């Protein structure tokens, strides 16, 4: 029989071994542990609460783009109108405290956000480095995709090229190949995960090749560096690898843009197309074309255009009064103020606050004319928009500053900004395809109604 001291020592060793083992588990091993509990949770919800009413559908919801309807399962994040986004219950400040950064860096590394979105757990630095290495190992583009992108005209929009490139990668889909051979439903998530990891790994090479072809055709693309993280390689491929501040900003930007619950157009599109059992490449290419719309992913470039136009008009005399006049000029011309308002949020976007804090931590950004203008606009715009009275949320969203920082650091090609957004949004959309397959979510098929049918329903509920 063990003495109390021996037993305590034995227990400590067992716990330590378990902790060490848990800290070095791979992403797949972690998911193998997490998925059964989630499957059981969903099974219980269906059995015990399948008939519970969680919301009312109004006519304005049906004809207003289904805005605000509680009608979609999305495990990675929940967006609260007042406090903003939470990733598995963690706020953005929480994530900044606990998620690992890159070696020598201070900002969230997208690999750690990817791990959190997939597993609901905070990875160890070792697990994050392991995932970075895996992504780098899988980061090369197939030659046929390189040739496809190189053959496209420079005048073709970068987002169109990105969507085409992602769709073409479907040629190597593990899910599609396994489905054609015949696989059990319980195996769907494993092949979906394989595709998602490969796609995320290849996005920097694909996105940077598009950038080179459109904007810097004479530049040589650097090879993937197996010792760098995802964004380290992306910045290097873009030709900005020696700019540590820009690289750190891209890490933060991509991590914070990775997911914003499932109802936004790009995430929802990936979910919808994925529900047909299309592989992740086809599903995410469709999401990218949704992201390319002016009402979605193009917003940050519109903000920058508007800010630069204001800067040209008011010159160096940046006062609250001059900004106020320019805001009213914009509103009276029938335009919206870009970068302000949000479909869900009713307070300043926490992502905007996080990017503002990044700007305040860098002397060159504190002195940047365009960033100073962003800050001054933030001090004036909410009051003007409240007085105007036609905006539900008069506060800034993340787009109010995101593109302006890229511009300061020399990445001035507006049309390319949404491509960076596309690289980031993959984190959330693709991880939730894994969960959709793990949970066996069905084909999405809402019921539509004509106006006549609606009027009949209103008269005879």
Active site residues: 296, 342, 399
Report the alpha-carbon distance of residue 162 to residue 151 in Å, rounded.
Answer: 13
- The full length of the chain comes to 461
- Rounded-to-integer distance, Cα 434 and Cα 218, Å: 39
d(CA 148, CA 271): 27
- Per DSSP, 293 falls in state S
The distance of Cα 6 from the centroid of its chain, to the nearest Å, equals 50
Q: Show the beta-strand stretches assigned E in 110-150.
A: none
Give how far the C-alpha of residue 319 lies from the chain's centroid of Cα atoms, to the nearest Å.
35
Contact 202, 139 (CB under 8 A): yes
3-state helix, strand, coil in the chain (%, to 5): 65, 5, 35
Q: Are 271 and 429 in contact (CB under 8 A)?
A: yes
Residue carrying the six token digits 């929480």: 94
* Residue 414 DSSP symbol: G
Alpha-carbon distance of 264 to 424, in angstroms, equals 14
């Amino acid at each position: 029989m063990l003495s109390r001291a021996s037993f305590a020592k034995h227990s400590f060793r067992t716990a330590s071994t378990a902790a060490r083992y848990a800290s070095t588990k791979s992403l797949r091993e972690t998911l193998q542990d997490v998925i059964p509990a989630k499957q059981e949770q969903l099974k219980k919800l269906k059995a015990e609460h399948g008939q519970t009413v969680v919301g009312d559908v109004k006519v304005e919801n049906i004809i207003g783009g289904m805005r605000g309807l509680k009608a979609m399962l999305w495990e990675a994040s929940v967006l609260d109108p007042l406090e903003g986004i939470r990733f598995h219950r963690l706020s953005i400040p929480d994530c900044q405290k606990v998620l690992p950064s890159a070696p020598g860096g201070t900002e969230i590394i997208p690999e750690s956000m990817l791990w959190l979105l997939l597993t609901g757990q905070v990875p160890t630095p070792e697990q994050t480095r392991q995932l970075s290495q895996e992504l780098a190992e899988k980061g090369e583009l197939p030659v046929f995709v390189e040739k496809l992108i190189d053959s496209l005209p420079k005048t073709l929009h970068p987002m169109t090229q990105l969507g085409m490139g992602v769709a073409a990668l479907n040629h190597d889909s593990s899910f599609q190949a396994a489905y054609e051979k015949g696989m059990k439903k319980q195996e769907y998530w494993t092949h979906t995960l394989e595709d998602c990891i490969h796609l995320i790994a290849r996005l920097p090479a694909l996105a940077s090749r598009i950038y080179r072809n459109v904007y810097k055709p004479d530049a040589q693309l650097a090879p993937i560096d197996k010792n760098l993280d995802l964004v380290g390689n992306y910045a290097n491929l873009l030709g900005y690898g020696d700019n540590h501040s820009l690289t750190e900003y891209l890490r933060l930007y991509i991590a914070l843009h990775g997911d914003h619950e499932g109802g936004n157009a790009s995430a929802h599109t990936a979910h919808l197309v994925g529900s047909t059992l299309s592989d992740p490449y086809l599903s995410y290419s469709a999401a990218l074309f949704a992201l390319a719309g002016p009402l979605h992913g193009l917003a940050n470039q519109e903000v920058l255009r508007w800010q630069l136009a204001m800067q040209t008009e008011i010159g160096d005399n940046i006062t609250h009064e001059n900004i106020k006049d320019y805001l009213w000029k914009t509103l009276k011309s029938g335009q919206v103020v870009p970068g302000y308002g949000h479909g869900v949020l009713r307070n300043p976007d926490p992502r905007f606050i996080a990017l503002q804090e990044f700007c305040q931590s860098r002397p060159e950004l504190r002195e940047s004319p365009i960033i100073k203008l962003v800050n001054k606009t933030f001090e004036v715009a909410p009051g003007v928009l409240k007085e105007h009275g036609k905006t539900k949320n008069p506060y800034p969203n993340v787009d109010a500053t995101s593109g302006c920082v890229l511009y300061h650091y020399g990445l001035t090609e507006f049309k390319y900004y949404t491509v960076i957004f596309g690289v980031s949004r993959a984190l959330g959309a693709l991880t939730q395809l894994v969960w959709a397959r793990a949970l066996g979510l069905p084909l999405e098929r809402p019921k539509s109604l004509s106006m006549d049918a609606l009027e009949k329903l209103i008269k005879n509920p």
